[in-house]
Each structure stands twice: as structure tokens, then as C-alpha cells.
Chains A and B, each alone.
Chain A
Amino acid sequence: MEISEWDLIQKCQKGDVTAYEELAAKYYRRVFMVVLGMLHHQEDAMEVAQETFYRAFKNINRFKGGSSFYTWLYRIAVNLAIDFQRRQKRGVMDFKENMDEVIVETERLGSDPYREVRDRELGERLLAAIDQLTPDHKAVIVMRAVEGLSYKEIGRTLGCSEGTVMSRLHYARKKLQEKLGSYL
């Protein structure tokens, strides 16, 4: 861990919110990515990501530096996101809604419009397909894709074995391939 980050954490442990703002600025996007991957809904993801930083600050005295600060933070985020999904059990977003979003966004296209449209469409369809997985399957696929975590690290975060992580990933990828078909 960087010394400066540890200094910031120690300040936070004394209640320094300004020091915490620096840490939050460093990690908020990564946390948001993980949570958005799992929740799909932008507002929900914002809510859970903010709650993650709030909870982390309230419990920062429990952080002893055994892992990196970000590892600690994303564990909170993943568990909050799983918990949020189990409580909300929101309906699955349908593709039509995503298509509207894709069409609106075509106004901001670059030099290769066909490829960009297709990539964006794939991205949106991918998020919608992930949204149909169970919270546990979402968690493994997002943690692997976004953070590139090893199966061991994913297993530690979710409280399951490496074998379970492997089988969940295999299942999730298979499901996503089925849903996305020709887009891949």
C-alpha cells in the first residue's frame, strides 16, 4: 500500500472527512463500475456506491491494512450490491428500453458509426443480459471482468470456494453467450 494512502486512511480514522474525500475521488469510478455491472440501473448503482463509501467511512477504524484499501472497499460494494438486489428484486429491464437509449446516443458517434453503434448495442445488451443472472453470478462475472480478480480473491470476497467461482463463471458466461448470440 502506498504510504500516502495509508496516511490518508489514518487521518480518516481520526474523523478527517477531507482526507476521505481524496480517497473517494481516487476510487469512486471503480466502485461505481462494479456496482453498475451488478445492478444495471444507474440510479441504484449511484445509491449503492455512495452507501459503500459512507459505510466504509463509518467503519474505517476496522480497516487494519491487511489488504489494500480498494480490496476492502469493493468487498463492501459487492456485498451491498448483492444485498440490494435481494431486497429490491427489480423486474428485468427489457431490450426495447435499451434500444431507445442506444438510438438517442447515436447523436454522439465518432468516425466508424456502424462499429460504434454495434459495440454500444452489444454493451447495453450485455448489461441487460447480466441483469437477468442471479446476484451471485453477476458478482463473479463483474469482478472478473472489471477488476480482473483471481478466482481465489473472488472466492474470498463472496465467501465461496475457487471451484464454485469457476463453475459460476462458466455458467454465467454460457448464459450471456446464449443471450447475446450474434452480437458476439
Chain B
Amino acid sequence: MTRDCEEIKSLLGAWLDGELGASEAAEVRLHLQGCASCLGEKARLEKLQSSLKSVLEAKASQLAFEPFWAGVRQRIAEERPWHARLIDWARAVLSPPRLAWAIPAVIIILLAGLSLEQFFPGWRWALNRSNLAAVESIDGHGFNVALLRESKTKTTVIWLFENHEGEEETSAEPVSGGPAF
């Protein structure tokens, strides 16, 4: 089965680059022998390639080494500031493919943290020795209130004692008259 011109033209670039398999390359070569249109396409592709190389070579030939090297040497001499290096590092590390893996990784770590609570309830409390009961509000309704929190024994105590100020009678129960600590 012979290919038509459109198919051959679509293979010409790869053929010129030497990237076609032997049979396809032979087919293209054979087609070119009798097809002016495809030969014209081949010439255009070759010109495209050679023009690009020559225009870049021409521009590069005008570039002197001294000013170029001066710029490189200056960069080497000047230690980049920490924030510039941090940005470079972040750009390198947080490239899209790595980020794609980093996001699930972070989520998995978070989920693992949450799951620990399901399997080992209170593990955070156990890790944090200062995890005491926290008193958010107290209303003593006329009683005096003392609050004690001791991290060593993880103890929070709310202590009530009567306000004797202005009272003439003495309490029959002296132990309730003041804080016990």
C-alpha cells in the first residue's frame, strides 16, 4: 500500500532527522523520487532547519566572550542572598510533578495523624504533659473561687470558699473557710 503525499509530508521531518525506521525511510525515499510537491516540502523543511541554525550562529558569533564571562564571574563572586536561594530551592522542589505527589503525601500524613486518635485515643494528651483541663469561665454565685493548675500531676482544681467579709457569725466548719492549698 502506497502512502499519499499528505502522509509522506507528515513523515518528512522525522525522515530528515534520521528517526524513521528502515522500511518507512525507504518508502519516503522512493516517493520523493517521483513527487515534485513532496520534494518542495523537503526543501522547505531543510531551509527552515538551516536558516534557524545560521541565524543563531550569526548572532552568537557577535557575542564577545569578555562581557559574557564578566557577567558569569560577577554572579559567582556575589553570593546570592538567602531569599533568592530559597526561591530557587522552592522552584526546584515545588515543580508541578513533585507538587502532585507532595499534596497527597501531606494529606496522607494529616490523615494518619487524625487516624491515630481513632486507634490510640488520647495519644496527643499523653504526648503533651501540660495538657490540663482549662477553665473557661467560673461564676461563684457569692462564693470566693480559687483556681489551681499543676502540670506535674495534671491537676486542675476549682476551690470554693465562703466569703466571710462582713459576716459576724463564725463558721461552724473552719475547714470550709479558706483555700486548702
Query: Could you tell me which A residues sit within 8 Å of B by CB distance?
Result: 17, 20-21, 24-25, 28-30, 32-33, 36-37, 42, 46, 49-51, 53-54, 57-58, 83, 119-120, 122-124, 126-127, 130, 141-142, 144-146, 150-151, 162, 166, 169-170, 173, 176-177, 180, 184
Contact = CB atoms under 8 A, between A and B. Distances in A.
Contacts of A120: 55
Contact of B44 (A33, A42, A54, A184): A184
Interface in B31-62: 44-45, 47-49, 51-61
Interface residues of B, number: 32
B45 A173 contact: yes
B19 A151 contact: yes
A78 B52 CA distance: 17
Interface in B155-172: none
Contact of A170 (B14, B58, B69): B14
Interface of B: 10, 13-14, 17-19, 44-45, 47-49, 51-61, 63, 65, 68-69, 71-73, 75-76, 91
Q: Please report whether the interface of chain B is mostly helix, strand, loop or mixed according to DSSP.
A: helix
Q: Please report whether the interface of chain A is mostly helix, strand, loop or mixed according to DSSP.
A: helix
B19 A184 contact: no
Q: Which 3 A-B pairs have the closest CB atoms?
A: A123-B55, A54-B75, A50-B71
Contacts of B75: 50-51, 54
A124 B63 contact: no
A123 B54 CA distance: 8
B37 to A, nearest CB: 14
Contact of A36 (B49, B51, B59, B71): B59
